[in-house]
Structure 1
Amino acid sequence: MAALARHLSAARQRSLLDTLAIGWPIVMAIGAVAGRLAGVGPACLLMAAAALILSGIAWRRVRRFDQAWLVQVLDARVPAFEDSSALLLRDSDGLQGLAALQQQRLLDRLAGAAALDLRPAWSWRWIASAVGASLVVSVTAAVWPRQNQTGPGGESAPSWPLPDKTRLVGVRLRVTPPAYTGQRPFDQTGLDVRAPAGSTIEWILSLRPEPASVNLSFPGQAPMNLAPTDRKWAGSRRFTASALYRLEASGLPRQRLHQLEMIADLPPTVRMLTPDRTLNLASADQAHWDLSFEARDDYGVANSAMLRLTVTRGEGEMITTTERSLPLTGHGTMRLKRFSTRLDLARERLEPGNDLIAQLVVWDNRSPSPQVVEGPAVILRQPPPGGLSDGLDGMARQILPVYFRSQRQIIIDAEALIAQRARTAPDVFLERSNALGSDQAQLRLRYGQFMGEEAEGGGPGLAIPTNDTPTLDLPTNDGPPPAAATQPEPHHGHSADDGHDHGSDTTTFGQMGDVVAQFGHAHDTGDASTLFDPGTRSTLAQALDAMWASERALRQGRPKEALPHALKALSLLKTAQQATRIYLARTPSKIPPIDLSRRLSGKRNGIRPDRFATTTRAPDDTPAMKAWQALGQTGKSGALPLDELARWVVNHQGRLADPLALSAQIDTVRNEPNCLECRQKLRALLWTALERPPVGVLRRSPADAGGQRYLDALR
């Protein structure tokens, strides 16, 4: 029905307008606040979002006015429809009987309902409240002063953009690092720059209204004028050192200082990979020497390097050197390269008693002047035929080989005893096996002295061979057995050189160590505690355990069970033989000489001061300390010693972590004395710049009246 459709359309239109009348002032107020706080762009985005939300609310309210709502309203407002308004919305062809008759009656009465106004009422209270609140918020946002706002580069923005005040509206900086760094150019919108040293900085600034001139002022340097291009101001400069600068323009309020922090190019570092020690001893049959180094740099290491080789010949003051350089090519990434080579010792003419010193020289890719670094030096020493001399790094002492033959002799005697078991009486066999166990016990006690163990009886002391002691070679399993093993004899027929211990028959030389071993009682000797590294001591401990097992089986008359333990002990001792050449430092402790002229004189001058010196802060930090204390006075913005503090920063910038930031903050506090946040930041920077005072001795507080009377009574 056309009349019913008009009623439904009018109700929906009224609901939409009512919703917009309430919500649109709120959207405008949100836009005003956002425009004041964040600018036009963010305000437009926020208003669009609010309008989208308002549209959703309006659509939900309009959807309520449908045919069901219309039937309900007609039944309530028009009694003549007799609660049968739904029949007006149905097709007459589908109705029959009483329903068709009732629909016809309602159509006759429809003319009376056409004059009804079914639109919902206006929400005047909500509309008035929304409009009033929107006006209040918009006016407040318009007149509210802008405080603590900064421009694109961090400079203070004016409280109100008056037409006659120049302001910075756009900042674009393009930083182009040096080509050798491999970094790409990048853009930023801030005026503070952090870039590699040697970078080119290009400024592109927009100011409104257009000033007559724009320049960048560098304290202590010539200013840089910016040229106008397409309603913008541009200029560029290459920087190799950090600096501070300020933007200056006609009509522009005084700006804060900004930092240009240049990251210095560090020199490359060289690490030795092969060999793993600085001093290396060449073996008798060594023909080559492998070297490997690793070079690392923050931007890149050159592909080529130079290996400096030095050969020293001679002794004492007759030493001569021969140098040559060997070019090397690195492999790896740009920042990490490895340089390896193999030296031919015959080519280098390395002879006994000579040293071959190798040192890698590398450089980075810095242009135009690369940084050259000399790596650690590694030495290959060819020992002289007679061993190392006292003029080298330490004294070489031969230890332990004299005892290796005794363990071998025990093994040979045990094998011979096992072979003769069938032809030997049981009591004689047990007696000879027990004698071998006794020899094994004496040998075990000898080696136990190296581990700090005490003797189990009155056995002989440990005899450490000296330079006059003949060195005995270690027998091996594949060598021919000694003559004593082919014709075994009873144990009471041993000779002086059969390798066994014979008590007092063992000859020791008249050294201090022998006297201590013979007449003293030492739980651990200095040599025993310092001659071995932990690995060698562990090997000797395992050898002692094997000797103990061998001794136990021999004393029980079971040489066949003792033989595996004796062989294991010999193998462990041969392993320990590799560490028997030990180098002892020859540098004595430096004790100051004693002044005998002052003895028994009673003079105590120079021994100790009469009073403890008071600890005072160095006067160099006095300006910084005064400024730090003055800045700590909360809520006060009095005069500060900023000029003196600025001079202190210039004089001590070598030890300050960030002198540029400190100088910039001093300038900010000078230009904005009422900025409490700026003062707090300067105080925090000063705290990190102050030197920590040394620990001083606190003076005792003076005695009161009662304490003074007590001290007087003591006197």
Structure 2
Amino acid sequence: MIERPILDRHRRGAKIRVLLDSAAVALPLTLGAAAIGWRLGGVAAAMAALLIGAAVLAVIAWRRGQRFDRPWLVSRLDAEVAAFEDSSALLFAPADTLPGFAGLQRRRIEARIDAAQPLDLRTPWSGRMILAAWIAGVALVLAAWLWPDPRNPVPPQPTATPATIAGPPRLTAASLRIEPPAYTGLPTREQTSLDARVPEGSRVSWSLAFAPDPAAATIAFPGSASVPLTRSGARWTAAHAAARPALYRIEAPGLPRQRLHRIETIADTPPTIRAITPPEQLATVTPGQRSWTPVFEATDDYGVAAGAVLRITVTAGEGENITFTQRTTTLAGSGPARRRRFAATLDLAREGLAPGGDLIAQLIVADNRSPTPQRVEGPSVILRWPADLALADGLDGMAQPVMPAYFRSQRQIIIDAEALIRDRARLDADAFATRSNALGEDQAILRLRYGQFVGEEAEGGGSTGGIALPTNDVPALPTNDSPALPTNDAPAPEAQERQDPTLGDGHSADDGHDHTAPGGAFDAARSFGHVHDDSDASTLFAPGTRTTLAQALDAMWSSERELRQGDPRAALPHANRALAFLKEAQQATRIFLPRVGAELPPIDLTRRLSGDREGIVARRLPQAVRPDPETILADSWRALADTPGKRPPLQLGALDRWVRANGGKLADPLALRAAIDTLRGEPGCGECRAQLRALLWRAIEPPVAAIKRRATPRAIGRRYLEALR
């Protein structure tokens, strides 16, 4: 169906008339609402009112225009054009679907279609409604223009007599406007309180009103330059950049002394970085691994920069022949500005990582502080490729993820087992069994390490000698040049060969002394110290020590068995028992060396229980002296007391100088300075005295504990003591 241009023009004109009529009614009301929003909330509120009004206008106009459809046009044509003979609907029907009489009627109406050209089907204007809307809109605009600005209150006009106006000025209105730095992303705010807590670097603006107006006014900062107030009509304004915490007061000729107000600045904290992947700082290359993706997360109070620098260091070589190469690359972060994540995929071959080398990644980020961003270097994560993982082709299946230098301690196995038990509810069966078996492998490695001390054979290879029994539950690491420890009590063959049955100086080989040839083993414990042993666990090679270690190994074996079977709850008692045995064996091997001068003089047994005190000199302990700088705090605290009696004089000047000089030792020096200044200006204020005394109590350091000398006894007491002698 194709509409006739004449008929389509009538319907389109009706729709346009409705849209214009709706706009003529809604536009003045929307402008009035925007003016009210601007007066109450500023530009943002005005824009919000305009957007809401436009949306409401669009909805109303669309709903009013929906009724101008084809049925409406057909009904209006039948009513207005008599030549159409109530058959206007035939003009919109397809010509090939009409039967004979209907088609004949359609051709007759088409010949008369010019009769619809002079028609005007548009609805009339809503004149009264439009007039009322414009009157209401103008009234709203005038009301918004004449209404006082609540953000910038105008002081009330004095209505008193000229004699009252001529009095001293007084502060009648005050407001504070705080504009944080742009990099913080915080909005500008206004408040009527003159005390503020603002981000560091914020611009603080004052708007004050006096009655009557003084000749001049300033914002005075004690100890620094003042900021003059500028008069603009009935308002006095000034601005200041808050770079550090400060106290200030409003001063004007004739204005009564004002109390100090406080501006506290919030310092911008540097970003913090933590490693997400890998979860631990050290990771090991797995067989077949070709790439590595470390992931870092950086957080900041106001936002982290979108870009960061990743420092990549690759080491190669062993021992002292270690070389390293370093490069940096730029990373783009993802996520919100205050919590960004940075990830990089590193190709091991391209980075040059070889067996025996390390790949170290460290993230460097900066925050959005302007003009000097804060740069922070995060923790380093290491990917290590042990030399023993360089396997031949076809032997990859024989590799075991073992880290000899970083095997777990018995206490760590217990902690990990308890954590695994807590996580059992959110792990599937396979993951739980895998983690439990991994703990069993760690328990096996630890068992084999301790088994070397009692002569057990190592599984999968020979024993590694040169391991001394540690002083905690983590064994010491083996070294290549340390001698192997014997596994029984018999002396080594080379030591037997060095022993001589007949030695000089009256000694013999069987006299119970240790005679070691030059260059042989040297017993440092017996030469420079004495060993404190427990029961039969006397030395590393004593039967008691080996028995204790054997019991620990049995408990480790039971713990390993339960862990490999996927039952960490049953393994915990055995693991705890193994830790107790290890501690017992370690306590037996501790050596205590005496300090020079620690030996007490021998006791004279002939004077014991005799009461002879001749030659005994009493020592006087030194009295703890209170530091002089804090004396002013204690004296001021006593002077502020309300109790009757003699009190030291209150020296506010000396107290203020001490606070200025020692502000770094106080938790809140600004509050103490403000309280001192308030009491100086209002000496009779009891509440001010109580507040200053409370602040001084928190600032006074507790005295050093001292032992008082016993008082001299009276005559009767002396006679009693003489009788005891």
TM-score normalised to the size of structure 1? 0.51
Aligned to 1:293: 296
Amino acid of the residue matched to residue 208 of structure 1? A
1:361-440 to 2 correspondences below 5 Å? 361-385=364-388, 394=405
Instruction: Decide whether the 8 Å contact of 1:168 with 1:207 is kept in 2.
Output: yes
Q: CA deviation at 1:230?
A: 1.0
Three-state SS of the structure 1 residue aligned to 2:270 is coil
Measured against aligned partners, the alpha-carbon deviations of 1:656-715 in whole angstroms (never above 9, x if no partner) come to 221111111111111111111001111111222222344444544544444433333444
1:615 and 2:638 correspond: no
1:656 and 2:671 correspond: no
Amino acid of the residue matched to residue 220 of structure 2? S
Aligned to 1:540: 561
Q: 1:326 aligns with which of 321, 326, 329?
A: 329
Aligned to 1:712: 722
**Residues 466 and 199 (structure 1 numbering): CA distance in 2 closer, same or farther, change over 3 Å?**
same
- Distance in 2 (CA, whole Å) between partners of 1:699 and 1:287 is 76
* Structure 1: stretches of 5+ with no match in the other structure: 1-151, 153-159, 400-445, 452-460, 473-507, 547-568, 570-584, 604-608
Q: 1:227 aligns with which of 230, 237, 240?
A: 230
- Distance in 2 (CA, whole Å) between partners of 1:208 and 1:393 is 83
Instruction: Decide whether the 8 Å contact of 1:362 with 1:372 is kept in 2.
Output: yes
**Residues 337 and 465 (structure 1 numbering): CA distance in 2 closer, same or farther, change over 3 Å?**
same
* Structure 2: stretches of 5+ with no match in the other structure: 1-154, 156-162, 391-402, 411-442, 465-483, 492-536, 572-585, 604-617
Measured against aligned partners, the alpha-carbon deviations of 1:20-76 in whole angstroms (never above 9, x if no partner) come to xxxxxxxxxxxxxxxxxxxxxxxxxxxxxxxxxxxxxxxxxxxxxxxxxxxxxxxxx
Amino acid of the residue matched to residue 543 of structure 2? G
1:166-565 to 2 correspondences below 5 Å? 166-385=169-388, 394=405, 463-465=455-457, 470=462, 510-511=486-487, 520-521=543-544, 525=548, 538-541=559-562
Three-state SS of the structure 2 residue aligned to 1:216 is strand
Aligned to 2:639: 630
- Distance in 2 (CA, whole Å) between partners of 1:344 and 1:589 is 49
- Distance in 2 (CA, whole Å) between partners of 1:690 and 1:531 is 59
Three-state SS of the structure 2 residue aligned to 1:286 is coil
Aligned to 2:168: 165
- Distance in 1 (CA, whole Å) between partners of 2:559 and 2:590 is 30
Name which of structure 1's ranges 274-283 and 690-699 shifts more when overlaid on structure 2. Answer: 690-699
- Distance in 1 (CA, whole Å) between partners of 2:389 and 2:209 is 84
Q: CA deviation at 1:510?
A: 3.7
- Distance in 1 (CA, whole Å) between partners of 2:291 and 2:325 is 19
Measured against aligned partners, the alpha-carbon deviations of 1:563-604 in whole angstroms (never above 9, x if no partner) come to xxxxxx9xxxxxxxxxxxxxxx9xx999777549x979889x
- Distance in 2 (CA, whole Å) between partners of 1:611 and 1:638 is 31
Q: CA deviation at 1:318?
A: 3.2
Q: CA deviation at 1:329?
A: 1.4
Instruction: Decide whether the 8 Å contact of 1:398 with 1:465 is kept in 2.
Output: no
Q: CA deviation at 1:315?
A: 3.6
- Distance in 1 (CA, whole Å) between partners of 2:547 and 2:268 is 55
**Residues 207 and 341 (structure 1 numbering): CA distance in 2 closer, same or farther, change over 3 Å?**
same
Q: 1:647 aligns with which of 643, 653, 657?
A: 657
Three-state SS of the structure 1 residue aligned to 2:345 is strand
Amino acid of the residue matched to residue 178 of structure 1? P
Three-state SS of the structure 2 residue aligned to 1:663 is helix
Q: CA deviation at 1:348?
A: 1.9
Instruction: Decide whether the 8 Å contact of 1:243 with 1:260 is kept in 2.
Output: yes
Instruction: Decide whether the 8 Å contact of 1:463 with 1:514 is kept in 2.
Output: no
Instruction: Decide whether the 8 Å contact of 1:192 with 1:260 is kept in 2.
Output: yes
Instruction: Decide whether the 8 Å contact of 2:175 with 2:190 is kept in 1.
Output: yes
Name which of structure 1's ranges 350-359 and 201-210 shifts more when overlaid on structure 2. Answer: 350-359
**Residues 592 and 206 (structure 1 numbering): CA distance in 2 closer, same or farther, change over 3 Å?**
farther
- Distance in 2 (CA, whole Å) between partners of 1:545 and 1:336 is 39
**Residues 348 and 706 (structure 1 numbering): CA distance in 2 closer, same or farther, change over 3 Å?**
farther
**Residues 177 and 541 (structure 1 numbering): CA distance in 2 closer, same or farther, change over 3 Å?**
same
Aligned to 1:74: none
Q: Share of identical aligned residues, percent?
A: 42
Measured against aligned partners, the alpha-carbon deviations of 1:343-373 in whole angstroms (never above 9, x if no partner) come to 2222221222222222111110000000011
- Distance in 1 (CA, whole Å) between partners of 2:408 and 2:192 is 72
Three-state SS of the structure 1 residue aligned to 2:355 is coil
Amino acid of the residue matched to residue 462 of structure 2? P
Amino acid of the residue matched to residue 367 of structure 2? D
- Distance in 2 (CA, whole Å) between partners of 1:241 and 1:592 is 54
Amino acid of the residue matched to residue 682 of structure 1? L
- Distance in 2 (CA, whole Å) between partners of 1:286 and 1:545 is 28
TM-score normalised to the size of structure 2? 0.50
Measured against aligned partners, the alpha-carbon deviations of 1:236-271 in whole angstroms (never above 9, x if no partner) come to 121211111111001101111111111111111111
Three-state SS of the structure 2 residue aligned to 1:183 is coil
Amino acid of the residue matched to residue 690 of structure 2? Q
**Residues 625 and 509 (structure 1 numbering): CA distance in 2 closer, same or farther, change over 3 Å?**
closer
- Distance in 1 (CA, whole Å) between partners of 2:596 and 2:561 is 48
- Distance in 1 (CA, whole Å) between partners of 2:553 and 2:249 is 67
Instruction: Decide whether the 8 Å contact of 2:488 with 2:541 is kept in 1.
Output: no
- Distance in 1 (CA, whole Å) between partners of 2:590 and 2:371 is 50
Instruction: Decide whether the 8 Å contact of 1:462 with 1:514 is kept in 2.
Output: no
Q: Computing the radius of gyration over CA atoms, which structure comes out larger, 1 or 2?
A: 1
**Residues 612 and 328 (structure 1 numbering): CA distance in 2 closer, same or farther, change over 3 Å?**
farther
Three-state SS of the structure 2 residue aligned to 1:666 is helix
Measured against aligned partners, the alpha-carbon deviations of 1:137-174 in whole angstroms (never above 9, x if no partner) come to xxxxxxxxxxxxxxx9xxxxxxx988512110000111
Three-state SS of the structure 1 residue aligned to 2:692 is helix
Instruction: Decide whether the 8 Å contact of 1:246 with 1:255 is kept in 2.
Output: yes
Aligned to 1:685: 695
Amino acid of the residue matched to residue 689 of structure 1? A
**Residues 531 and 290 (structure 1 numbering): CA distance in 2 closer, same or farther, change over 3 Å?**
farther
Amino acid of the residue matched to residue 692 of structure 1? P
Instruction: Decide whether the 8 Å contact of 2:454 with 2:550 is kept in 1.
Output: no
Tell me how large the CA RMSD over aligned residues is.
Answer: 4.6
Amino acid of the residue matched to residue 639 of structure 2? A
Measured against aligned partners, the alpha-carbon deviations of 1:479-529 in whole angstroms (never above 9, x if no partner) come to xxxxxxxxxxxxxxxxxxxxxxxxxxxxx9942599999972559645875
Q: Which has the higher contact order (CA 8 A, sep 6+)?
A: 1
Amino acid of the residue matched to residue 628 of structure 2? P
Q: CA deviation at 1:279?
A: 2.4
Amino acid of the residue matched to residue 561 of structure 2? L
Q: CA deviation at 1:323?
A: 1.1
- Distance in 2 (CA, whole Å) between partners of 1:532 and 1:623 is 65
**Residues 205 and 345 (structure 1 numbering): CA distance in 2 closer, same or farther, change over 3 Å?**
same
**Residues 591 and 650 (structure 1 numbering): CA distance in 2 closer, same or farther, change over 3 Å?**
farther
